[in-house]
Structure 1
Amino acid sequence: MTEINNDDKKIYNLSIYLLKESVENFEDALKYKPKYIFEIKEDLEIDGIICLGDEKTSVPHWLELLQEGIDQTLPDFSNTSNRALILISFEARIFAIPFGYGKSMLKDDVIDRDVALKTALNMINSDSLRSLDRANLDNLGVMTKTQSSAKGKQENFNVDPVRDLLKGVTGGTDADKMVLGPNVTGSEGISINPSIEFADIISIIEKINESAASLKYKAKFGWIDNLKQAKDPLVIDALQVELLKDLKAKDSDKIVLTPNAFIEWEVFEGVSFTPKGSLYQDFNIETFYEVSEREITEDWEHFQNFRIYFKYSNSEVRENMPIWRCINYETTYNGFLFVFMGGNWYRINKDYVAEIKSFAETFLESELNFIDCESGWTEEVFNVRLSESNADYHLLDRKLIRTDLIRSEIELCDVFTQSKELVHVKFYKGSSSLSHLFSQGRISSNLLMKDESFRRNARKKIGSLGVDRNLIPINRNDFKRHEYTITFAIIDKKERSFVNSLPFFSLLNFRLSAEELSNWGYNVRVKKINMVEDLLLGPKTP
């Protein structure tokens, strides 16, 4: 899309991708040989090529539905997709500028996505931010976009340096970089809208390359280095081997599948793991294991061909991307914690890990008498057995309580005690189940604190169990938060402490939840519940 500018140069919306330094020539960047390759004119003094790909024509998927409603034959509604790509070599790095569907001509793993975001931050005036895209480190399935009607500072966007992973940024351009246009957006590439002719492209590349080497971002966004991208090929090779081993073993504890971009939910029909396979609403690694028709080997190049397909009602074709770009995974290598997300490997800053872990270790174990969990029990069975183990323990698992505040029904907790301790229990099944555990504790505690209807209905619920209703007063002023304890309990078959049983992102989630609950005035406790072999043969249902 172009517009005419007052200086007779057109405004072009450009997306520019910095390729990894390991990509040494144009051929290495391309997924396949383009239909046409043109050298850039010598007099422009730009070391680059222009690639044109084949046009692709497809028939809209909804055409058949419309045809069923009329007798006449509908006209041809075929769509044609064009693709072009400029590749430019500048100071030992290759830059790619796609047009149309030209990005599909690049290999999937050649884009240096981490450096693009930092480069954008170096080109943006930090007091002129327009929008921030973030993922929650404590729940990587949650992404948010915050934008402002006027340019503002980082503080206006409620950034949490502990919780947030910055995925994208848009802001006003620094005064010395106005050749780029008024705004810069950075995510996996740099998006700008300059007024240019072709000869001006090299000056834009020069500015971007200069900004890629800058450390200016550290002044206001230094916290993004808590996760530092791994670039050593030998380290990455070793990490890929670990990930493939766990994928082959169908691990669903350390591996989570999440969308790598914002989903257009209003037209979203589902995802599939084959081009025409069944559609699923949820991103679930276990579904992938179940329906994938291809065997996972310990060959990363082979795994790069595995795709995930997105079906939208407003498109006749399923969009797709490599499934590895939707995988979140963590492992330890050479004493460092590494995470894989968004298609990149990151080494977690040791000081950051130590600070998170140290904070989590300040929370004491619950003083309640917990029973062990037999290996054949479900979570429901354990909660029943725990409540039966002491006359002061009362079962509230699956006993939902209505609240007017959010017009929904919520569990108060799994087990409630006469000493006003609310116990939330989950089996260790990876970060997604633990995220639900901490969320449950936060939500119910918040409702107890704020919503009179929730307290009133909670009184009715515990009263129906023969429990003194006055353990939860109706009046907000009578509800003394310091008298209540929120306990998070994890059932884990491994011999390790509560804190050591948490994956890093779950540890971060716990830290943030516990900090919030403590700030509200609650006591917070933890408990690691042991899993043992069946003590007695007998029925496994409550």
Structure 2
Amino acid sequence: MAGLEVYLSLNSLLVKPEYAQRDLSSLLKPGSMFNEYDLSEEHELDAEGKLFVKTPVANEPKWRSFAESVVGEELTGLQNISNSAVLLIKSNGKVVAFTFGYGRFLLDLTCFVPDFGIKTALNTLDHSSLRSVDVLTLDDQAVQKKSQSSKEAGVDIFGIDVSRDILRAVTGSAKDGVELNRITGGDAIYSFSLSISVSELPSLIDTLYGYYNNESYKNEFSWVDNIRRVKNDGEISSLNESMLDNVKLKNSVIKITMPEIINWDLVHGFSYTRAKTQVNPTIETEDYFDTINATSITIESIKSDKLFVFYLDGSVKEYSIYKCLYYEFVSGDKTYVMFSGVWYEINNKFILDIDANLSRIPISSLSFPDVHVWTDRINEKDILKIESEGHYNSRVSTGSNFYLLDKNLVKTSKSTSSIELCDLMTIDRKFVHVKHRKGGSSGLSHLFAQGYVSAELTLSDRDFRKEARKKLKPISSSLRDTIPIDGYKSSGVEIVFLVLGEDSASLISNLPLFSKVNLSKVYDNLIHRGFDVSVAGAAKLDISQ
């Protein structure tokens, strides 16, 4: 019996070194109900361990009463019983948990290495044998995606964007020299199949630790180190304290932004807890700082405080300030970013590469007037207002060399919606795309994407060019002729990104990190297609005086 070998699918987790000397039962969630079993002495293991089996609880399915009403009688045998167990083995100072059924839900995951699963998988997988990947794409809002291939393939087939995607889980076949099958790794859990006897468990722990504790993944998956989500509670707590110190100092490194994409055309203004009646047209971090008591503010109070968004239809939406904070913090060779309520660790070399790329983008040679701001007295309150994008575009195009194309949409079969060619255009083929800076990172990614999609469709889609010419002809025949139906060339065409409320000189340096990432990617794509790219800002001008 002791040497019996069986084929098993195992889920494994590695205990953090600082918890390896604790009593094994303390690695389970507090309050868990379980039966505890010692290992059989017949195996003569040079290791210690225990098996924990959750006390099973029978639950009735939620649909039972409805089903019984359908047939008019009691249904029997419909109880759900889930079985869960955890085998904890300590060998050579290392502790590994092997879970069965729903056993992972018995564990206190704060005691386990958070990247054991994903890193061990990347170190043991054949990079050309992937079956599925899970990624978290960072943008104005995080998007989770799972992709699965019909056959083994390399990572390129899954369309991963190494500048924005965090790899969360991966499945594939083992590389040469790894005696495991059907490998999956995600966060803390490493799953695999193998034939094993109980006596081989200590050597398996050493093997798994060796797979985790090396850097071979960097040969094929080095990009995964660009961005990682911080999950360690202690690390998050330390980062929160750093952020809190800067909030108390009311430091300008703290920014408040929208944590998701909104329709700015429908927004009336913004306000904060303790100043809800003071509505401003833009998100100003200083306005929040003015409402807080620096000596008593805590992370919990920041989570309770709200940013209110007032819409033109009278509705109001609120967001936790904690989820609206944007903060970059450098520590050694790592940069940490708080974005949409989540901390990310970003490799500094990655950031330096992004900044170096952005430094190549010139300031537009075009001259743009400042965007107007003013103060209105409404209900005995001074309300700061800012010129809308539509009004600014219209004003700029009046009596100038700019043609107004704002909201002049072009239909195309290659997009789910009609596309705006640009907001402003010149006769020498400069396409100007305009957005407010007022919401932080929110909206800026849309600005860059808009410029790229319009340029790409104009270059590649003949039907799009035909429709664009129809829109341009009533404005100017000469303007129409800048986009020929056939023979259109990107050479000499300039895509200009104009941000309202920001000086041209400080525009790129003041962009939030993920907006920089998006602009860098768009810039590379447009340059490679032969377009010129530039940026510009329009500073605020107070016309109240």
TM range (shorter): 0.7 to 0.9
- What residue number does 1:458 align with? 468
CA distance in 2, matches of 1:245, 1:28: 34
Match of 2:8 among 9, 12, 19: 12
- What residue number does 2:51 align with? 50
Match of 1:489 among 488, 498, 503: 498
Say whether 1:96 aligns with 2:105. Answer: no
CA distance in 2, matches of 1:247, 1:87: 43
Say whether 1:523 aligns with 2:532. Answer: yes
- What residue number does 1:399 align with? 408
CA distance in 1, matches of 2:325, 2:146: 20
- What residue number does 1:271 align with? none
Distance 1:497 1:84, change over 3 A: same
Q: Secondary structure at the match of 2:524?
A: helix
Shift of 1:126: 3.4
Trace 1:468-479 onto structure 2 (pairs within 5 A): 468-477=478-487, 479=488
Shift of 1:97: 2.6
Shift of 1:524: 0.7
Say whether 1:41 aligns with 2:68. Answer: no
Q: Secondary structure at the match of 1:481?
A: coil
Trace 1:58-137 onto structure 2 (pairs within 5 A): 58-63=59-64, 71-72=72-73, 77-137=78-138
Distance 1:327 1:80, change over 3 A: farther
CA distance in 2, matches of 1:169, 1:328: 31
Match of 1:365 among 353, 363, 369: 363
Q: Which runs of 5+ in 2 are unaligned?
A: 262-295, 304-319, 374-384
Is this contact kept in 2: 1:328–1:339, CA < 8 A? no
- What residue number does 1:508 align with? 517
CA distance in 1, matches of 2:92, 2:395: 66
- What residue number does 1:314 align with? none
Trace 1:5-404 onto structure 2 (pairs within 5 A): 9-24=5-20, 25=22, 26-35=24-33, 36-42=35-41, 43-63=44-64, 71-72=72-73, 77-137=78-138, 141-154=142-155, 161-178=162-179, 180=180, 182-188=181-187, 189-227=189-227, 236-242=236-242, 253=257, 298=298, 330-334=327-331, 336-339=334-337, 346-375=344-373, 376-377=385-386, 379-404=388-413
Is this contact kept in 2: 1:124–1:173, CA < 8 A? yes
Shift of 1:394: 3.0
Is this contact kept in 2: 1:459–1:470, CA < 8 A? yes
- What residue number does 1:263 align with? none
Distance 1:511 1:34, change over 3 A: same
Distance 1:298 1:115, change over 3 A: farther
C-alpha RMSD over aligned residues: 4.1
Shift of 1:362: 0.8
CA distance in 2, matches of 1:27, 1:329: 40
Distance 1:299 1:369, change over 3 A: closer
The Cα offsets for residues 446-476 of structure 1, whole Å up to 9 and x where unpaired, read as 1111222222222222334456452443423
Distance 1:147 1:484, change over 3 A: same
Q: Secondary structure at the match of 1:476?
A: coil
Shift of 1:368: 2.1
CA distance in 2, matches of 1:118, 1:389: 58
AA in 2 matched with 1:47: E
CA distance in 2, matches of 1:388, 1:342: 37
The Cα offsets for residues 175-210 of structure 1, whole Å up to 9 and x where unpaired, read as 4331x3x23112212111223344444333221111
CA distance in 2, matches of 1:518, 1:225: 26
Shift of 1:407: 5.2
Shift of 1:344: 8.4
Is this contact kept in 2: 1:12–1:195, CA < 8 A? yes
Distance 1:243 1:156, change over 3 A: same
After the TM superposition, which of the residue ranges 126-135 and 418-427 deviates more from structure 2? Answer: 126-135
CA distance in 2, matches of 1:298, 1:101: 37
Distance 1:396 1:232, change over 3 A: same
Distance 1:467 1:141, change over 3 A: farther
- What residue number does 1:283 align with? none
CA distance in 2, matches of 1:414, 1:502: 21
Is this contact kept in 1: 2:123–2:215, CA < 8 A? yes
Report the count of equivalent residues. Answer: 470
Distance 1:432 1:110, change over 3 A: farther
AA in 2 matched with 1:240: N
Q: Secondary structure at the match of 1:418?
A: coil
After the TM superposition, which of the residue ranges 151-160 and 76-85 deviates more from structure 2? Answer: 151-160
Say whether 1:418 aligns with 2:427. Answer: yes
CA distance in 2, matches of 1:245, 1:61: 48
CA distance in 1, matches of 2:504, 2:398: 23
- What residue number does 1:447 align with? 457
Is this contact kept in 2: 1:379–1:426, CA < 8 A? no
CA distance in 1, matches of 2:54, 2:245: 36
Distance 1:139 1:8, change over 3 A: farther
Shift of 1:353: 1.2
Distance 1:228 1:159, change over 3 A: closer
AA in 2 matched with 1:519: H
Q: Secondary structure at the match of 1:12?
A: strand
Q: Secondary structure at the match of 2:466?
A: helix
- What residue number does 1:310 align with? none
Q: Secondary structure at the match of 2:100?
A: strand
Is this contact kept in 2: 1:245–1:298, CA < 8 A? no
CA distance in 2, matches of 1:74, 1:246: 61
- What residue number does 2:306 align with? none
Is this contact kept in 1: 2:230–2:344, CA < 8 A? yes
Distance 1:57 1:398, change over 3 A: farther
AA in 1 matched with 2:209: N
Identity across matched positions, percent: 28
AA in 2 matched with 1:434: L
Q: Secondary structure at the match of 2:458?
A: helix
Distance 1:372 1:299, change over 3 A: closer
- What residue number does 1:499 align with? 508
Is this contact kept in 1: 2:473–2:480, CA < 8 A? no
Shift of 1:173: 1.7
Shift of 1:100: 2.8
AA in 2 matched with 1:187: G
Q: Secondary structure at the match of 2:30?
A: coil
AA in 2 matched with 1:15: N
Distance 1:495 1:99, change over 3 A: farther
Distance 1:388 1:70, change over 3 A: farther
Q: Secondary structure at the match of 2:360?
A: coil
The Cα offsets for residues 3-24 of structure 1, whole Å up to 9 and x where unpaired, read as xxxx985433222122333334
Shift of 1:516: 0.3
CA distance in 2, matches of 1:350, 1:15: 33
Superposition TM-score, scaled by structure 2 size: 0.73
Q: Which structure: larger Rg?
A: 2
Is this contact kept in 2: 1:255–1:330, CA < 8 A? no
